[in-house]
Amino acid sequence: MLDKYKSMEARFDELGRLLSDPEVISDPNKIRDIARERSELEPKIKVFHAYQQAMKTIAEDQQLLADNPEPELREMAEMEIEELQQKVAEYEEQMKVFLVPSDPNDARNAMMEIRAGTGGDEAGLFAGDLFRMYSRYAERVGLKIEVLSSNPQGIGGFKEIIMMVSGENAYGKLKYEAGVHRVQRVPATEQSGRIHTSAATVAVLPEAEEVDVQIDPSELKIDVYRSSGPGGQSVNTTDSAVRITHLPTGMVVTCQDEKSQHKNKAKALRVLRSRLLEQKQREEQEKISRDRRQMVGSGDRSAKIRTYNYPQGRVTDHRINLTLYRLNEILDGDLTEIIEMLATEEKNSYLKEQAA
């Protein structure tokens, strides 16, 4: 482990020198990439330096104990050694966690798809609540949301909504949200006051660049038709809606949010490209780790991951047995605690697997 951190330290110092290199300064892209890599290494190097300093002080105190028979100095040195040994143990745990390899997709933008599940109109209303929750979370952490496609229902909410979330580490922050979200509450349309259970499905995909997925235009079937549902003057008057079918896989993507057919086509292609990338990565991962236990962040969209219970003001994440009685705050976008705990659990699971 220490050898790895010494290599990191050398790389950190090299990146610092590169930031003052005239050739690098003249290239904004190089500066951005180097600064990002250095900022990712910085917290790891800080812990490593704190660990080194603690070990150095322990060695000095141990030498003091060996050389000095005075009781008072010996007692002070022994107390400091005991405190520092506890800190060293904490530093070592942090250093182990930092060595868990990060998902190469974490830095990408995220494509989020929210769909109403079981529960009829109430499920659509809940899908709208989830969209609002993620929108508010994005505001809190400095991410930007762009709606790519939506299928609203008449009484509010959505049958389906697809959005691009862009910003620093967008996919890394949101990937743990993939799965089935369940809500338990009294629907507004329920006269008897009975609690209903409804669900919505969230899919989170890393945004794909053109270099990640090559799409052959001859393998696409593109249909245009008139938009439907709530909208502006273009609804039902122009053939602006676009449906793209990827013939080899049968994937179908539709987009009708924009008045321009070209804009809808571009958005639909972004969604299709991300879905194809996810499929490709999932197949590759299954080949590599078919027999390994599934980790927290695997994004199985068929698994029930969280329950939102309105009568009790409770949110339960079933993957880590976490229950919080802060329903309103969480629905208002306060997801940081849950996401951080899921990320920690995934890293701990990885470390346990490596130890085994």
**DSSP assignments along 143-212, one per residue:** -EEEEEEEEE-TTSSEEEEEEEEESTTHHHHHGGG-EEEEEEE--TT-SS---EEEEEEEEEEEPPPTTT
| 108 residue type, one letter | R
Q: Which of 34-38, 249-253, 279-283, 309-313 has the lowest mean pLDDT?
A: 279-283
| Integer Cα distance of 14 and 98 in angstroms | 20
What b/e sequence results for 292-315 when a residue is b if at least 16 CB atoms lie within 10 Å of its CB, and e otherwise? eeeebbbbeeeeebbbbbeeeebb
pLDDT of residue 291 exceeding 50 = no
Place of tokens 């500066």: 31
Q: Three-state SS for 343?
A: helix
In the chain the domains, ranked by start, together with CATH numbers, are: 2-98 (1.20.58), 110-211+291-352 (3.30.70.1660), 217-286 (3.30.160.20)
Confidence of residue 286 (pLDDT cuts 50, 70, 90): low
Q: What is the reported pTM?
A: 0.68
Backbone angles phi, psi at 73, to 5 degrees: -65, -40
**Eight-state DSSP code of residue 227:** -
Condensed to tens digits (0 to 9), the pLDDT of residues 24-81 reads: 888 888 888 898 889 889 999 999 999 999 999 999 989 888 887 788 888 888 899 9
CA-only gyration radius of the chain, Å: 26
Using the predicted structure, report yes or no on whether residue 5 has a pLDDT greater than 50. yes
For residue 238, pLDDT beyond 90: no
pLDDT of residue 259: 79
Whether the Cβ atoms of residue 137 and residue 333 lie closer than 8 Å to each other: yes
DSSP for 286-324 reads HHHSTTSPPPGGG--TTSEEEEEETTTTEEEETTTTEEE
Burial string for 119-143 (b: 16+ CB within 10 Å, else e) reads bebbbbbbbbbbbebbeebbeebeb
Count of CA atoms in the C-beta half-sphere (13 A) of 326: 13
How confident is residue 189, by pLDDT bands cut at 50, 70 and 90? low
Q: Is the pLDDT of residue 244 over 90?
A: no
Q: Which helix (H) or strand (E) holds 134?
A: helix 121-141
Q: Which residue, 101, 124, 110, is CA-closest to 164?
A: 110
DSSP 113: E
Question: Which residues have CB under 8 Å from 240's CB, separation 6+?
Answer: 224, 226, 227, 234, 256, 258, 259, 260, 261, 264
Closest CA to 80 of 91, 68, 64: 64
Mean pLDDT rounded to a whole number for the chain: 85
| pLDDT mean over 138-151 | 91
Q: What are phi and psi of 162, to 5 degrees?
A: -120, 130
Token output for 350: 């990885």
Q: Are strands 220-225 and 304-309 parallel, antiparallel or unpaired?
A: unpaired
